[in-house]
Amino acid sequence: DTAVSQTPKYLVTQMGNDKSIKCEQNLGHDTMYWYKQDSKKFLKIMFSYNNKELIINETVPNRFSPKSPDKAHLNLHINSLELGDSAVYFCASSQAGWSNYGYTFGSGTRLTVV
Amino acid sequence: AQKITQTQPGMFVQEKEAVTLDCTYDTSDPSYGLFWYKQPSSGEMIFLIYQGSYDQQNATEGRYSLNFQKARKSANLVISASQLGDSAMYFCAMREGAYNFNKFYFGSGTKLNVKP
């Protein structure tokens, strides 16, 4: 059983399109996140949700909108895609409270905007 | 200032030897957690080891140990008896505050190549 699953794994799309990436976790965790990994492998947080409530919203263009229908799901919708959005997007989850396991990551979605 | 600094973009190690990957961090919060993750070429992020700011002893997990020097604000990862499968990117990360919903900061990573 995959603990944090993201779909799709690869996404190639044209500039200006709108796309969504889905994320689901079956670990019973309270908190879910989206991270972006750029071409230099740098990981930066975009959003986090705790029990469906947005708690971290970094300086991200408002073309990016997260949606959490329940605490097991956190989807990322991107409007009007730009070349600079090309990256690997990771979903992750964790227990909200103290934990020594940090995040459990999904396998990533490689987005390529052409 | 960067929260997490990894100064070694790439490293080579001979199979079966030990290797140390450097990590320094910057925080004024007395409560924090330090993590190491491995990212193989397949792309997934794999949790390796954790050290809490109040932990007295260095963390160990199998062949991984974390050399925690609080006064120096360093949290180096030591991999003993390197294996070919250890070739990957390694990321140091810090959680400021006691709780996991606090933001994690990641370093820029170190690419480790294990030579046969």
Q: Name the DSSP class of B97.
A: S
Predicted confidence band at A54 (pLDDT cuts at 50, 70, 90)? confident
Q: Three-state secondary structure along B35-72? A: EEEEECCCCCCEEEEEEECCCCCCCEECCEEEEEECCC
Q: Under an 8 A CB cutoff, do B91 and A44 touch?
A: no
- Measured CA to CA, the distance from residue A73 to residue A90 in angstroms comes to 13
The pLDDT tens digits of the residues spanning B4-36 come to: 999 999 999 999 999 999 999 999 989 899 999
**Cα angle at A98 between A96 and A103, to 5 degrees?**
60
Average pLDDT, stretch A43-49?
90
Output B38 or A100, whichever has higher pLDDT. Answer: B38
Q: Under an 8 A CB cutoff, do A40 and B108 touch?
A: yes
β-strand partners of B55: none
- Measured CA to CA, the distance from residue A55 to residue A46 in angstroms comes to 11
For an interface test with B, which of A32, A48, A100, A101 has the most B Cβ atoms less than 10 Å from its Cβ? Answer: A100
Q: Under an 8 A CB cutoff, do B43 and A94 touch?
A: no
Per-position DSSP letters for A46-97, written without gaps between them: EEEEETTEEEEE-S--TTEEEEEEETTEEEEEE-S--GGG-EEEEEEEE-SS
Radius of gyration for the alpha carbons in chain B, expressed in angstroms and rounded: 14
pLDDT at B98 over 90: no
Predicted confidence band at B50 (pLDDT cuts at 50, 70, 90)? very high
Nearest-by-CA chain B residue for A99: B100
Q: In this structure, how many other beta carbons lie within 10 angstroms of the beta carbon of residue A37? A: 22
Identify which of B33, B50, B108 has the shortest CB distance to residue A41. Answer: B108
Predicted confidence band at A91 (pLDDT cuts at 50, 70, 90)? very high
A61-65, B49-53, B100-104: lowest mean pLDDT where?
Answer: B100-104
Per-position DSSP letters for A17-59, written without gaps between them: --EEEEEEE-S--SEEEEEEE-TT--EEEEEEEETTEEEEE-S
B96 contacts on A by Cβ (under 8 Å):
none
